[in-house]
Amino acid sequence: MLEPLQRTALAGVRAPAAISAFSDQALLAGWRTGLAIVNLRGNAEDPAFRAAVSRALKLELPIQPCSSVADAVHRLVWVGPDDWFVIGPKGQASAIEAQLRMALAGMHHAVTDVSGGYTVLHLSGTPVREVLAQGCPLDLHPRVFGPGSSAGSLFFKASIWLWQTDEAPIYEVLVRSSFRGYFWLMLERSTQECGLVTRRFQ
């Protein structure tokens, strides 16, 4: 569901003209609230570890720096040489933990449900790269950052992890829950010219 964002103009800033929910010039943004987010740690150089994760999640573990992989159920995001985020459907964190712990039994690993500490924002629309560039120092040009790319960075003063899901382009941003309000405020300020349309996820 798409709807124009309703907001009060910032002091000293003229309110943007109302925009249509179908405007191709607006940034589309929506929180994917409640997703399962699990942190996985382990030895990526161990073939048995990689195979066990693949069996548990039906996805090959990304071991290339700054990469991510996904299917219709899960997304795996490389965070470091021995560190990943596993992102899954709402309410499935316990199931993901159990699957991984069972598959990795006897191996050196750590599996932690961090769903309460993070949330994911979905971003798309014509101006998405330009809007992100106002507060994020990453080079998001398609020559260097495309589908499957991911990286940790900042959006103004909020630490984030960002990945691109397709060529459109569409991005998703992992944000600490404590920075959610700040991130959205800065997104509003960065879309004064193009407009901001909220997308509601079930």
Over residues 128-142, the pLDDT tens digits come to: 999 999 999 999 999
pLDDT at residue 5 tops 50: no
The 10 Å CB-count burial string (b at 16+, else e) for 150-172 is bbebebbebebbbbbbeeebbbb
Structural domains in the chain plus CATH codes: 24-32+117-199 (3.30.1360.120), 36-116 (3.30.70.1520)
CB atoms < 10 A from the CB of 105, how many?
A: 9
The structure tokens listed for 176 are: 């600490």
Categorize the per-residue pLDDT at 202 as very low, low, confident or very high, splitting at 50, 70 and 90: confident
Categorize the per-residue pLDDT at 11 as very low, low, confident or very high, splitting at 50, 70 and 90: very low
pLDDT at residue 44 tops 60: yes
Residues in Cβ contact with 62 at an 8 Å cutoff, skipping those fewer than 6 apart: 68, 69, 76, 77, 78, 84
Categorize the per-residue pLDDT at 49 as very low, low, confident or very high, splitting at 50, 70 and 90: very high
Residues, the chain: 202
Categorize the per-residue pLDDT at 6 as very low, low, confident or very high, splitting at 50, 70 and 90: very low
Proportion of the chain above pLDDT 70, given as a percent: 89
Overall average pLDDT of the 107-115 stretch: 97
Q: What pLDDT is attached to residue 23? A: 62
pLDDT at residue 55 tops 60: yes
**Pick from 175, 194, 171: which is nearest to 183 by CA?**
175
Distance CA 110, CA 38 (A): 10
Do the bridges between strand 158-166 and strand 36-42 make them parallel or antiparallel, or are there none, so unpaired? unpaired
Q: What pLDDT is attached to residue 7? A: 43
- Across 17-31, 75-89, 143-157, least confident range: 17-31
41 DSSP β-pair partners: 83, 110
**Pick from 50, 26, 57: which is nearest to 130 by CA?**
26
pLDDT at residue 21 tops 90: no
Categorize the per-residue pLDDT at 163 as very low, low, confident or very high, splitting at 50, 70 and 90: very high
Overall average pLDDT of the 153-178 stretch: 97
Distance CA 69, CA 61 (A): 8
Overall average pLDDT of the 114-140 stretch: 97
pLDDT at residue 4 tops 80: no
